[in-house]
Chains A and B, each alone.
Chain A
Amino acid sequence: MINGITIGLVLFLIGLYGIITNKNLIKIIMSLGISSNGIILFFNSLGYVQGGLPPILTESSVNFVDPVPQALMLTMIVINLCDTALALAIIVWIYKKFGTVNIEEMT
C-alpha cells in the first residue's frame, strides 16, 4: 500500500489543502510546488519495475524500467520551474503595488 503512487497522490492532496487554506500568496505558490512534486513522484513510480535496470540499450536483459514517465517528468519539471519563477516575479511586483501579499487585503 505504501508506495510511490499513493505517497505521490497524498502529497498532491496536501498541496491542494495548502492552496485552499492559505491566504498568503507565497504560501499558495509553495503549496502548488508540493502538489507538483507529488505528481513527479506519482509519474516516476508508474514506470518503476521491481529490480529493473536503467533503460539503456544493452544485450543482456529485457527487465527495464519504463523510461517514458521519466522523460515526461523532465519536461514537466522545467515547465513547473518556469511557472514558479514567473509567479514569484509577479508577487514581488504585487508587493510593490499593494504593500501586501495577502489575497484578502489586496484591494
Chain B
Amino acid sequence: MIEHISILLLITPLLAAIVVSIVNTLSKTKIIQKIITAISLVLPFFYLSIIFQRISTESISYNVGGWEEPFGITLIIDELSFILLLISSILVFVTFIYSLQNIKQDTEKFYFFFLLLTTALNGIFLSGDLFNIYIFFDLTIISSFILITFGDKKYALKGSIKYLILGTLASLFLLLGIGFVYAETGVLNLEYVQHRISLIDVQTQIVIFVFFLAAVGIKAAIIPFHTWLVDAHSTAPVPISALLSGIIVKSGVYVFIRISSFEFTLPRMNEVIIMLGAITAVGGVIGALMQWDIKRITANHTISQIGFIIVGIGTGSTIGFAGGIYHIVNHAFFKALLFLCAGALIYKTGSKDIREYRIGWTMPITFIVYVIGILSISGITPFNGSVSKKLIETAIHSYPGISIMLLFASVGTVASFSKILYYAFFKHKSVNTNGNDGKKVPFTMLVSMIILAVFCLALGIIPQLWLDGLILPASYLLGDVNLIQQVSFIEPLSILKEWIIVGGGLVLLFLIIRFSTMVDSLRTKISKIPVNQSILFMIITLIIISIIFNYL
C-alpha cells in the first residue's frame, strides 16, 4: 500500500472526476457530486500524512508499470514536491468549500474540470521526467482555461482565449527545449538530466535555457511574458482566481526551480534571472497602482510577488532558495485569502470598482481577515510575508540595486492595498443603500477565508513550523551549501524599516490619488496592446537574453 501512494495521489481526483460526470447523467441531485468531490479532496491529506513520516529519511520514487528508470515513467516525491503537494491540497480544498455557495450554475461541469485541474497539479509536482511535466503542464492549461469561462461571461472568454494561445505557445516552447535535451543527453529523467547537462556545449545550453525560460516564464507570469495573467485572473470566477494565483502560477515556478537546479554552466545566469525577477516585482506593482478594479489590483500583485520568488531562486544560494520556496507557500495562502475576500466584497456590493464600494463597518469578519491578508502581503512582522521577504533580502545583500527595486515594490504594495482599504472601508462611513444590502456573505465563504487567515498568522508567528522540517531540507538539495547564513526574524531595526515602508506607501497613495487622471490615461494606452505584440516583445526579450549569454 505505502509504495503506491504516489500514484494514488493522481488516481483519486481523476477517478472522482469521471464518477462525478457519470453520476450527473444518472441523477440530477447536486448533493451527491459535492460529497464525491469533497471525499476525493480530503483523501490526499491522508496520503500525504503517511508520506510525511518517510520523507524525512529518503525521497520516494515510484516506477509506473514497473519500468526501471531512466526509461520508464517515474513519480518522485522529495521535500520540494511534498511542500507544493501539501499547499495545493489545502488550497484546492479551501476553494472547494468557497465554491459551494459561489458557483451556482453548471456545477457538474465545474466540479469535473476542478478535479481534472487537481489531477494535473498533483501530476506536475509528482513527475520525475521532463515529458511528463509537459503533459501535466498542458493539462493544467486546458482545465484552467475552461474553468475561467465560468466567470463573467463576455470578458472571461476574452481572458481565456488569450490564456489558451499563450499557454499552448508555452507548452510548445517547453517541448522544443525537451527535444534539444533529449537530442544531446538521450535521457528525460530529471535526475539524469541534471548531471548530464553540463556536458553539453555552451551554445546548445543557451538554446535549451532560453526555450525553458520562455515556457516557464509564460506559465509563471515573469515580465515580459505575463500578459495573459491579469485578464485571465480578473475575469475568472473567484475560487478559480484564488487557485490560479495560489497554485497554478506556482506550478510554473516549480518547473523553474527544477530547471534552475540543472547544472547549467552559463555565464551570468544568476544575474539574468535576478534581473528578470526584480523587473517583474516592480512592473507588477506599477500595474497594480494604475487599476481601480479590485481583482485586477490583486492579479497584478501576483506578478509582483512572483518577482520576489524568482529573485530568491535566482541567487542560487541556500538561503535564497529557502526564501523563494517559503514565499511560494506564503504567497499561496495570502493571495488566495485576498482573492476570496475580494470575492466576498463583490458578492456583497455587486461591483468590482473600488470607488463604488460604500461598505463602512457592515462586514466586520471580512474586514479583519482582509487586513490580515494585506499585512501579510506587505511583510509586516508577525505575519507570514515578513519571514520570506527577510530571507530573500538577506540572500541579495550583495546586489544593492536589486534591493532598492524590491524596496520600491514593497512600498507600492502597501500603497495599492491601502487604496482598496481606504475606498472600500474608510472613505464613506455611510452604507451604500442602493446595492444588495440585505445580502449576507454565506457561512461557507467565511469559513474558507478564516482558515486561510489562520494559516497566514501561524506561518508568520512560528516560522520554524515549516522552515526546519521541510523548506530548509528542500533548499539544501537545490542550493549552494557553502552559502548558509543565520537570519533572525524579529529585530527592532527591521520592524522600524517595515513601518517606514508603510509610511512611504501612504505618501505614494496620496500622490497617485492626486494625479489619477494622468494614471487613467496611461492605463487605457497600455490595455490596448493586443496579444500579438506582447508575443513579439517576448521573442525580442528571448533574443536579448541569448545575446547576453553569448557575448557579454
- Chain A residues close to B by CB (< 8 Å): 5, 12, 16, 19-23, 25, 28-29, 32, 35-36, 39, 42-43, 46, 68-69, 72, 75-76, 79, 82-83, 86-87, 90-91, 93-94, 97-98, 103-104, 106
Given known A19-B535, A20-B536, A39-B179, contact A94–B157 (CB-CB < 8 A): yes
Cβ–Cβ < 8 Å partners of A103 in chain B: 530-532
A36 and B173 alpha carbons, distance in the complex (Å):
10
Are A83 and B179 neighbours in the complex by a CB distance under 8 Å?
no
The interface-forming segment of B3-11, B164-172, B298-306, B487-495 is: B164-172
Q: Say if the beta carbon of B145 comes within 8 Å of chain A.
A: yes
List chain B residues, Cβ under 8 A from A87: 161, 164-165, 168
Are A83 and B182 in contact, with the CB atoms below 8 A?
no
**Chain B residues with CB below 8 A from A46, complex form:** 179, 182-183
Q: Tell me whether A21 and B172 are in contact in the complex, defined as CB-CB below 8 angstroms, given that A46-B179, A106-B158 are known contacts.
A: no
**Contact between A12 and B157 (Cβ–Cβ < 8 Å)?**
no
Q: Knowing A39-B175, A72-B131, A83-B142, say if A90 contacts B539 (CB, 8 Å).
A: no
Chain B: interface size category: 20 to 34
Q: Are A86 and B532 in contact (CB under 8 A)?
A: no
Binds A, one of B75-83, B146-154, B341-349, B435-443: B146-154
Q: How far is the CA of A69 from the CA of B176 in the complex (A)?
A: 12
A85 to B252 alpha-carbon distance, docked (Å):
24
Question: Are A86's CB and B158's CB within 8 A?
Answer: no
- Interface contact A79-B158, CB-CB below 8 Å: no
> Which residues on A sit within 8 Å (CB–CB) of B318?
none
In the assembled complex, B135 has its CB within 8 A of some CB on chain A: yes
Q: Which of B172, B182, B530: most chain A CB closer than 10 A?
A: B172
Contacts of A82 in B (CB 8 A): 142
List, in ascending order, chain B residues with CB within 8 A of A90's CB.
Answer: 145, 149, 157, 160-161, 164
Min C-beta distance of A1 to chain B, whole Å: 16
Which residue from A79, A91, A104 sits with its C-beta under 8 Å from B138?
A79
- A35 in contact with B172 (CB, 8 Å): yes
Provide the main secondary structure of the chain B interface.
helix
Whether the Cβ atoms of A32 and B172 lie closer than 8 Å is: yes
B536 surroundings in chain A (CB, below 8 A)? 20
The answer on a CB contact under 8 Å between A42 and B532 is no
Nearest chain A CB to B413's CB is how many angstroms away?
A: 31
A44 to B160, CA, bound (A): 32
- Is the CB–CB distance between A42 and B153 below 8 Å? no
Q: How far is the CA of A90 from the CA of B161 in the complex (A)?
A: 7
Complex Cα distance, B532 from A21, in Å, reads 7
Interface residues of B (CB under 8 A from A): 131, 134-135, 138-139, 141-142, 145-146, 149, 153-154, 157-158, 160-161, 164-165, 168-169, 171-172, 175-176, 179, 182-183, 188, 530-532, 535-536, 539
Contacts of B182 in A (CB 8 A): 43, 46, 68-69
What CA separation (Å) do A90 and B165 show in the bound complex?
Answer: 12
Q: What is the minimal beta-carbon distance from B182 to any residue of chain A, in angstroms?
A: 6
Most chain A beta-carbon contacts within 10 A, residue among B142, B160, B532: B532
Q: Complex: how many Å from CA A103 to CA B228?
A: 14
Complex contacts, B138 vs chain A, CB 8 Å: 79, 83
Q: Smallest CB-CB separation from A9: which chain B residue?
A: B176
Contact B530 A32 (CB under 8 A): no
A70–B145 alpha-carbon span in the complex (Å): 28
State A90–B138 Cα separation when bound (angstroms): 17
Among A25, A28, A42, the most chain B Cβ lie within 10 Å of the Cβ of: A28
Chain B residue nearest in CB terms to A12:
B176
**Are A23's CB and B168's CB within 8 A?**
no
A39 to B536, CA, bound (A): 20
CA distance A72 to B176 in the complex (A): 12
What would 8 more interface pairs be, CB under 8 Å, given A79-B171, A90-B164, A103-B530? A19-B165, A22-B532, A46-B182, A75-B131, A83-B138, A87-B165, A91-B161, A106-B158
Shortest CB distance A54–B (Å): 19
Interfacial chain A residues near B175, Cβ < 8 Å: 39, 43, 76
Given A32-B165, A97-B154, A103-B530, residue A86 in contact with residue B145 (CB < 8 A): yes
- Report how far A39 CA is from B183 CA in the complex, Å: 13
